[in-house]
Amino acid sequence: MLVRVALPVPLYRVFDYRLAPGQVAVVGARVRVPFGRRALVGVVVALPEPGAAYAAREDLRVVSDVLDAVPLLSAALLRLLQWTADYYHYPFGEVIATALPGLLRGGAPALFPPVVFFQLTAAGLGADLAALRRAPRQQAVLQVLQQVPGGLAADDARLLALGNWRGAMQGLVQRGWVVRERRERTQDTSATRQDASATSATLPVLNADQAQAVATVQGQAGHRVYVLEGVTGSGKTEVYLSLMAATLAQERQCLVLVPEIALTPQLLARFRARLPVAMTVLHSGLSEKVRLQGWLAARSGQARVIIGTRSAVFVPWAQPGLIVVDEEHDASLKQHEGLRYHARDLAVLRGYREDVPVVLGSATPSLESLANVAKGAYQCVRLPRRAGGARLPSVRVVDMRRQWHDEGLSVSVLDAISAHLEAGGQVLLFLNRRGFAPALVCEGCGWSAQCPQCDAHLTWHQRAGLLCCHHCGTRSAPVRVCPGCQGRLRPRGEGTQRIEAALARHFPDAPLVRIDRDSTQGREAFEQVFAAIHAQQYRILIGTQMLAKGHDFPGVSLAVILGVDQGLFSTDFRAQERLAQVITQVAGRAGRAERPGEVLIQTFHPEHPFLRTLLQSGYAVVSQDLLEQRRLAGLPPFAAFALIRAEARDSALGEQFLAAVRAYLLPDAQGVAVLGPVPAPMQRRAGWFRAHLLLHAPSRSVLQRLLRARVCEFDALPLARQVRWSVDIDPVDMG
């Protein structure tokens, strides 16, 4: 018998192997096969019939081992992965590898890993909780265990909800009240809900807009794409919950995609409080063992709700029911390395292939989604008012040309912060630039500290005492004096650390927290910080985009947006769309509860027509203006782009390779403009010189027709072995 196997290698083909006597393989199962001098794990994608073409193929190598007796990937999921490989022009075997947890890629059994289990002894069952009044954490752990006489796995949700429980558990083990052992298991205990008590409480009553949105989605069976456009604070999550509850009642599963890991704890907490079903979370911050558990729980149907970041769009599920993409406009849903897929677009395709509804939620829908609404491909469902009677915040522009300012904070902003703190509110300041200052500049001659590996300034991180490159990660000790004129060096510009230091000086009695990639890493750090914010342990919040995305901070009454001017004058045609989304999203963090909200936007260009239109007419009008500009200019979503990138250690090789690609494409490029090659906007990054070749076509079909037969042959072109090259379909980052 013959099998056709997709292997995780950078080749645009699959490979045929023979099965040894007694071996049986099915499509979708993994096999281990010899490949050159290596042994690789691949997936069977077809069972070709032996015929004349194989009569002389005695050279076919034999499968070493069949790892799965049943398909690990369904036929529907394999078809989605094949489409992904074809559309994004990426090797099929590597696309499949992207969809598998790391342990399965390495050949581990598709079984729930053994787990550490904790169970009460007879002494523990009879122990008095009052005896632990001086050890409250041990008391809490013991109380949970006494409610579950059968014991709990170490990753059970009931233990995870206790926070840092491991030290307390060890204390109970030492007392002889708990025994610890490893057990095999057949289900994912981490996906088990605590209990169903929360569902017996009075559920929120949907307002008229929310009820209409739910009725619209439920009123049509099967697949359809709905753009849930709701102002910030309008209660989109309540709509999700109602739709999910109805889906679960039909014994079907729900898949929820979010753009950032930071959003998963808040969503998961709300979902667990309302839906009495097993849930699982999938994202890159989890250990390989936990990711495998969640993946298997989704595949088996044990996990009824699956929450994940972009890679979760490939998760297998047993009973497809509903797909929700939260913050669908967010660029984080696009993968920027390797397989450059867009999770939102694949979610829409998956919903079509599996005949389930797809809900794309955002207060600021992407122009691509709005264009699909305009042509009738998607249906827009609007939530025009905030839920619970809360009003939208007032917005005011602060003209920095007429303001005294300290470390980038104007006197108007400082006065507003003081007033809101005195009134008991929390204050949020947004600046999408981490570090203390983006440059260290000589006062005398203007010299600035540059990254030795990139065409970029080094960012000054004052607290760490380091100069850091935010592009390649280079770190170096600070330069004390200018190497040219020996002049004094000063930090130029503001980052979140500088704003933090200024606020600590102006408001020493107000606890503050900075939330950016430098200060907040890992799932537990996110959860602890956001729990403290909700408890109002922090009065001032400073952060980058991770603070602005979809979070609900009821105590925030003032939002301050800094550093907007860069987006007003960027050469990136998407810059104004992103700026409008950021301003609208950050402004929406203020005044979401009883306290009225206020938003201040600092700028040196208050008269800019884009800014004035956004503040006077809102995102809906701005987005329509931008769509018309894109249509007239022939830009996406009214055209299709593919960006071919090349990187080389030599400054000329990348452009030379792309020139060969251009010459190869041009004879068949009817209807496709081939632009370049040109150096990338940042030509040198991490020691590699980068070049771009842009393909512009009036439609995706025209573009795909050109690339479909060509990309797999790029490796045969001159210089291909001396450069790193990639194809980015529908790029969202032109850098």
- Residue 548, amino acid: A
- Residue 103, amino acid: L
Rg, C-alpha atoms of the chain: 28
- What domains can you pick out in the chain, each with its CATH number? 2-105 (3.40.1440.60), 115-183 (no CATH), 197-388 (3.40.50.300), 390-437+493-629 (3.40.50.300), 640-729 (3.30.70.260)
Strands, DSSP E only, in 407-465? 409-410, 426-430, 439-442, 459-461
Distances (CA, A) of 228 to 232, 384, 680: 12, 11, 36
Other CB atoms within a 10 A radius of the CB of residue 453 amount to 16
Q: What is the pLDDT of residues 502-539, one digit of tens each?
A: 999 999 999 999 988 877 765 566 777 888 888 889 99
Is the separation of the CB atoms in 142 and 89 below 8 Å?
no
Residue written as token pair 């949907």: 206
pLDDT at 458: 93
pLDDT at 390: 75
Which runs of consecutive H residues, i.e. helices, occur in 328-450?
343-354, 367-374, 411-422
pLDDT at 53: 58
Q: Which long-range contacts (CB under 8 A, 24 or more apart) does 717-723 make?
A: 717/657, 717/660, 717/661, 717/664, 718/656, 718/657, 718/660, 719/653, 719/656, 719/657, 719/660, 720/657, 722/648, 722/650, 722/653, 722/657, 723/646, 723/647, 723/648, 723/653, 723/654, 723/657
Is the separation of the CB atoms in 345 and 329 below 8 Å?
no
Q: How many helices (H) and strands (E) does the chain have?
A: 24, 32
Q: Is the dihedral of CA 315, 316, 318, 321 positive or negative?
A: positive
> Of 10, 158, 171, which is closest to residue 85 (Cα–Cα)?
10
Q: Is the dihedral of CA 416, 417, 421, 422 positive or negative?
A: negative
Confidence (pTM): 0.89
pLDDT at 200: 43
pLDDT at 358: 98
pLDDT at 246: 96
Other CB atoms within a 10 A radius of the CB of residue 373 amount to 19
- Ranges of the chain with pLDDT below 70: 50-58, 185-203, 521-525, 550
What is the token pair recorded at 90?
Answer: 């990426």
d(CA 713, CA 710): 5
3-state helix, strand, coil in the chain (%, to 5): 35, 25, 40
pLDDT at 541: 94
